[in-house]
Amino acid sequence: MFLYAIAHSDTNREVQERFQHSGETVSRHFHRVLQALNRLVPYYIKLPENQIPTTISSNPKFYPFFSDCIGALDGTHIAARVPAHQAAAYRNRKGFLSQNVLACCEFDDLLFTYVLAGWEGSAHDGAVLGAAFDSGFEVPKEKYYLGDAGFGLAPYCLTPYRGVRYHLREWGKGNERYQNHILLHETELIIVLKMPKNFSIYVTLLYGMQLKEFLEF
């Protein structure tokens, strides 16, 4: 029931109809599985260690220029269903209801190292990152993440130059070659754009884990 509700974004009533169980039963088992998954998070999602990723140290294009970079962070909008009186807050700039989910991933295996969900779709990426720090998110001293233009430039977050084209697709349309001084942005774009794929990988792996020791049926 949990996987069905998550995969189809169904309401409690729709799950009742599909599995022919009461709303109380659906809600109770849904929350039991959800709590079990939450207990698994510390085992599988961890902040990166204070070391240079192999992806960077083994590539002369990246090392030593990115020796202090420990990963990439980005936000993604996950479709959500909310009560009518909360719809305005959850409506994002693209017009649909969503949660703005912040996630960080490391470079070597493209695994998640931090996820913060629950913020309204209208929330700015910078605000969600600020909330992450308030919730215990930490960046090691003198280390930083790569982020897109939705985040502010800071010692812990390296963002693109303002007003400079760095998307490879834009350069291709202009029949121009990118220059060495914006190689950073090419690299950043490739790494950050891999993150949406990681969301599906993370969900698939996590749901496939054994939950028997965490569920007491």
Report pLDDT digits (tens) over 72-129.
999 989 888 888 898 899 999 888 999 999 999 888 888 888 888 888 999 999 999 9
Flag the least confident range among 18-32, 91-105, 138-152, 188-202: 188-202
Q: Which residue has the higher pLDDT, 190 or 127?
A: 127
CB 151 within 8 A of CB 131: no
Sorted by sequence, the CB contacts under 8 Å of residue 138 that are 6+ apart come out as 47
Taking only the tens place, the pLDDT of each residue in 70-84 is 989 999 898 888 888
- What is the spatial distance between Cα 28 and Cα 33, in angstroms, rounded to a whole number? 9
Give yes or no for residue 179 having a pLDDT over 80. no
Q: Tell me what pLDDT residue 185 has.
A: 40
Query: To the nearest whole percent, how much of the chain has pLDDT over 90?
Result: 16
Q: Tell me what pLDDT residue 187 has.
A: 42
Residue written as token pair 């029949």: 175
Q: How confident is the model at residue 11 (pLDDT cuts 50, 70, 90)?
A: confident
Domain ranges of the chain: 1-44, 45-207
pTM of the model: 0.63
CB 113 within 8 A of CB 48: yes
Mean residue pLDDT of the chain comes to 76
In what side-by-side order are the strands of the sheet with 69-79? 112-120, 98-105, 69-79, 144-146, 157-158
The half-sphere exposure of 93 on its side-chain side, counting CA atoms within 13 A, is 6
Give yes or no for residue 55 having a pLDDT over 80. yes
Q: Which residue has the higher pLDDT, 36 or 177?
A: 36
Taking only the tens place, the pLDDT of each residue in 197-209 is 444 444 434 433 3
Tell me the Cα Rg of the chain.
Answer: 20
Looking at residues 143-165, what average pLDDT do you find? 84
Q: Tell me what pLDDT residue 175 has.
A: 54
3-state secondary structure the chain: CHHHHHHHCCCHHHHHHHHCCCHHHHHHHHHHHHHHHHHHHHHHCCCCCCCCCHHHHCCCCCCCCCCCEEEEEEEEEEECCCCHHHHHHHECCCCCEEEEEEEEECCCCCCEEEEEEEEECCCCHHHHHHHHHHCCCCCCCCCEEECCCCCCCECCEECCCCCCCCCHHHHHHCCCCCCHHHHHHHHHHHHHHCHHHHHHHHHHHHHCCCCCCCCCC
Give yes or no for residue 172 having a pLDDT over 60. no
- What is the spatial distance between Cα 134 and Cα 109, in angstroms, rounded to a whole number? 27
Give yes or no for residue 211 having a pLDDT over 60. no
Q: Tell me what pLDDT residue 180 has.
A: 41
